């Protein structure tokens, strides 16, 4: 978020009405960032409700699933709700539960192209090795 240089407006943790209040005060485009599973307490974000509020205000939502990958078994993450197509982007990590390294952004092609061409932290990073990619694929396939 810092690298985007966007103005940040926090809302109360997992509080749908607080999000609604913050979004109602904004002008222009908004992107809401949440975690599906919060690492400190293990509480789950109310994703259905958060997505509904984002739709109400025409805001996009990004869900960080770093602590959800592997928690619900296999490649399922915090999205046991069927909201995959309602979310602008999902961030998943291959560390933590999978025991590898690296991460991925699950998004549409427009965002993918933007990140490839403008995200300095991606542009100046090293691509994952083939054996790492294969290991992640095997782990995700065998644990479904």
Domains of the chain: 2-142 (3.40.640.10)
Question: Is the pLDDT score of 4 beyond 90?
Answer: no
Q: What is the pLDDT of residue 136?
A: 82
Contact 26, 144 (CB under 8 A): no
Question: Which is higher by pLDDT, 37 or 139?
Answer: 37
Helix, strand, coil shares, percent, the chain, to 5? 35, 15, 50
Predicted TM-score of the model (pTM): 0.84
Question: Which is higher by pLDDT, 75 or 51?
Answer: 51
Question: Is the pLDDT score of 32 beyond 80?
Answer: yes
From 3, 2, 1, 52, select the one nearest 31 (Cα to Cα): 1
Q: Which helix (H) or strand (E) holds 64?
A: strand 60-64
From 61, 117, 69, select the one nearest 96 (Cα to Cα): 69
**For residue range 77-116, what is the model confidence (pLDDT) as tens digits?**
555 567 888 999 999 888 877 778 888 899 999 999 999 8
What φ, ψ does residue 62 adopt, rounded to 5°? -115, 130
* 59-81 average pLDDT score: 73
89-93/103-107 β-pairing: antiparallel
**Confidence class of residue 74 from pLDDT cuts 50, 70 and 90?**
very low
* 45-65 average pLDDT score: 95
Q: What is the pLDDT of residue 84?
A: 81
From 12, 64, 54, select the one nearest 34 (Cα to Cα): 64
Q: What is the pLDDT of residue 21?
A: 98
Q: What is the pLDDT of residue 143?
A: 58
The SS3 of residue 142 is helix
Percent of the chain with pLDDT over 70: 91
| Cα separation values, 88 from 21, 43, 128, 133, Å | 21, 22, 24, 24
CA dist., res. 129 & res. 126, Å (int): 9
């Amino acid at each position: 978020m810092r690298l985007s240089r966007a103005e940040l407006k926090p809302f109360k943790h997992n509080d749908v009405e607080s999000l609604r209040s913050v979004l109602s005060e904004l002008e222009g485009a908004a992107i809401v960032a949440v975690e599906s599973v919060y690492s400190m307490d293990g509480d789950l974000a109310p994703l259905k409700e958060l997505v509904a509020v984002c739709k109400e205000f025409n805001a996009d939502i990004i869900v960080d699933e770093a602590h959800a990958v592997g928690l619900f078994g296999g490649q399922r993450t915090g999205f046991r709700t069927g909201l995959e197509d309602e979310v602008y982007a999902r961030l998943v990590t291959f560390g933590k539960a999978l025991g590898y390294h690296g991460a991925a952004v699950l998004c549409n092609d427009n965002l993918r192209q933007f990140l490839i061409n403008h995200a300095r932290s991606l542009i100046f990073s090293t691509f994952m090795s083939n054996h790492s990619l294969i290991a992640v694929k095997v782990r995700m396939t065998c644990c479904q």
